[in-house]
C-alpha cells in the first residue's frame, strides 16, 4: 500500500522549479527537433530554423514557469 506523501510548503518551490527545468528541456528539445526537420526538408540545412525553434520552445517554457512561480511572490 503506497504511503501518502505530505507536500510541505517549503518543498513546493523546489518541486515547481524542477518542473520548470524539465519543461524547459522538453519544450526546448521539441523546438530543436521541429527546427531541424524544417531545416533538413525545406531550407537546405540552414542553422536559423533550429535556433528559432529552440528559442520558441524555451520561451514558452519560461513563460509557463514564470506563471507557475508567480504564486510565491
pLDDT on residue 73: 64
CB environment 34-58: b (16+ within 10 A), e (fewer): bbbeebeeeeeeeeebbeebbebbb
pLDDT on residue 2: 57
pLDDT on residue 17: 87
- For the chain, residues with pLDDT lower than 70 are 1-7, 73
pLDDT one-digit tens code per residue, 8-26: 777 777 888 889 999 999 9
How far apart (Å, rounded) are the C-alpha atoms in residues 24 and 20? 6
Amino acid at each position: 500500500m503506497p504511503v501518502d506523501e505530505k507536500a510541505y510548503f517549503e518543498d513546493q518551490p523546489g518541486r515547481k522549479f524542477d518542473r520548470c527545468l524539465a519543461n524547459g528541456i522538453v519544450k526546448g528539445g521539441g523546438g530543436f527537433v521541429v527546427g531541424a526537420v524544417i531545416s533538413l526538408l525545406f531550407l537546405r540545412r540552414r542553422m536559423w530554423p533550429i535556433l528559432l525553434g529552440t528559442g520558441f520552445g524555451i520561451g514558452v517554457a519560461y513563460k509557463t514557469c514564470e506563471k507557475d512561480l508567480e504564486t510565491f511572490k
